[in-house]
Amino acid sequence: MSAPEKYPGSRRPLLVKKFGGTSVADIERIRKVARLALESQREGNDVVVVVSAMSGETNRLLGLAHQVLPLPDARELDVIAATGEQVSTALTALAIQAQGGQACSFLGHQLPLRTDSAFTRARILQVEQERIREVLACGQIAVVAGFQGVDSNDNITTLGRGGSDITAVALAAALGADVCEIYTDVEGIYTADPRVCPSGRKLKSISYEEMLELASLGAKVLQVRSVEIAMKYEVPVHVRGTFTEEEGTWLVSRETAFEARVLAGLACEHNQARVELSGLEHHPERMAELMELLAELNTSVDLLRHRQEGTQVSISFTLPEGELLRAKPSLERLVDDLGASAIQVSTGLTKVSLVGIGVRSDPWIAARVCRSLARHRIPVSDLAVNELRISGLVEGSRADEALRILHEAFELARAEASVTRPTNAEGAW
C-alpha cells in the first residue's frame, strides 16, 4: 500500500470505526452501530464506518458456490463473497438516515480501493480518498464495505478472512485518522481467549509487535495484515466491545506501552498440518526450490526445520490444513523432482504460542513451557523460539487444556506476569 497522503482540509478529529459480523448481525444491532456513529459525529468528529457482512453471511454465500462447483474459480468466489458487505453497508447507511443523520455508502470499487489480483486474498495497493473526503466535508458519515477492493482490470477482489480489519486500518492510515476503533464481540485483547481460558485478563495496551505475533499465531481479535499496516503507519488502534462502553485495548509502540511486562499472552492456531520431506540430496538448491514452490502457491509456512543426516537432509514445516489441500499435489510432484525418499503428513495438530518481548533472552521461559506441559503428559514437538514468541505443536484434542495450563503456569491473570527460577533441585516451579 502506498504511503498515506496528508490533507490539511478539515480540522475536525477523524475516527474510523469498524464493526464485525456479530456487530451487524441483525437490524437491531445495525441500529446500534448507527447510534454509535451518530454519537461520535455529534461530539464533533468526522466519522468513517467500515462494516463486515452480517454474521454467517459470508459462509452462506461461499457454501452456495461450493454446492455449484466443489472447487470454484477464485475470481467468481470474490464476486459472490463481496455481496455480503454490499447488503450490510447499505443497511447501515439507511439506519443512520433513519435516525436523523446523513450517510453515503461505498463499495470497494466505488472508492476505489485498489488491490492486486490475488483473488480471495488480495493485498491493498492504494486507497483513493477523494470521494470519502467529499462526503465528510458535506457533514455526512461515510459507510464503507470492508473486505473488498478492485484490481487494475476492474475485477472485484476480496482481502481474505478478517479483511474488514485490513480495510479499516488501511483507510485510517490513508486518511490520517486520529484513531481506528475496531469493535468486536469481546471487550479488547486478552492474555488468552476468555472463552477457552476464563482467567484470561484484558490488557490495557499491547505493542504492535506483540499483537502482530499473537494475530499471526491464531488470536482472532485482529487480522494479522491489519496489524502490519497499523505498525507501518503508526495508526492508533483501539480494540473494544460493541455492546459495552468500557475502554478496550490500545495498540501502541514499545516505547509508549502502558504496562511493563515480559509476557503478553497466549494464542492457539488450530487445524495445523506438519509436512516432512525426507531423503533429500544435501544441496542448497533444494530448500530454495521448496520455498519457491510454496511462494507460487501463496502458502505461508511456519516451524521450518532443516536436518542433515550424512549426505541427505530432511525438511519439515507446518501450514494450515486448508492450505495443505491446495499444496499437497504440487508437493508430491516436487518430491519426485527432488528425489526425496518420502513425504510424511501429520494433521489434527494445534500450534500453541507464548508471546512477549524478550522471550528468547530468558531460557527459563522455554523450560517452564516444557515442564508445565510434561507434568500433565501433554507432548509438545517442533519447539521454536524467537525474540517475541515460543511455539510448539500439540495434539488438537488437548490444545485448550495446554492453553489453560500455560496461562496458569506463567500467572498471566496477574497484571505483572514474570518468570521465576526453579525453587528446588528437582526443578519444581
Q: Which residues are annotated as a binding site for ATP?
A: 18-21, 184-185, 190, 195, 220-221
Q: Characterize the bridge pairing of strands 14-19 and 179-184.
A: parallel
Q: Report the C-alpha gap between 404 and 209 in whole angstroms.
A: 23
Looking at this protein, which amino acid is placed at residue 318?
T
Is 392 within 8 Å of 375 (Cβ atoms)? no
Cell of 348: 489434527
- Residues 135, 104: contact at Cβ < 8 Å? yes
Nearest-5° Cα angle at 105, 243 to 215: 50
Binding residues, as ranges, are: 18-21, 58, 85, 184-185, 190, 195, 220-221
Would you tell me the crossing angle of helices 163-175 and 130-137 to the nearest 10 degrees? 70
Burial of 54 (C-beta count, 10 Å sphere; 0-12/13-18/19+): buried
Tell me how far apart the alpha carbons of residues 374 and 23 are, in angstroms, rounded to a whole number: 41
Residue 170 · residue 93 · CB < 8 Å: no
Q: What DSSP string runs through 153-202? A: T--EEE--TTHHHHHHHHHHHHHT-SEEEEEESSSS-BSS-TTT-TT--B
CB count within 10 Å of CB 360 equals 15
Q: How many residues does the chain have?
A: 429
Tell me the HSE value of 311 on the side-chain side, using a 13 A CA sphere.
1
CA angle centred on 396, ends 343 and 380, rounded to 5°: 75
Per the CB < 8 A criterion, the answer to whether 158 and 72 are in contact is no
Ranges of beta strands (E only) in 285-377 are 302-309, 312-320, 342-355
Q: 3-class secondary structure for 130-159?
A: HHHHHHHHCCCEEEEECCEEECCCCCEEEC
- Known binding-site residues for substrate equal 58, 85
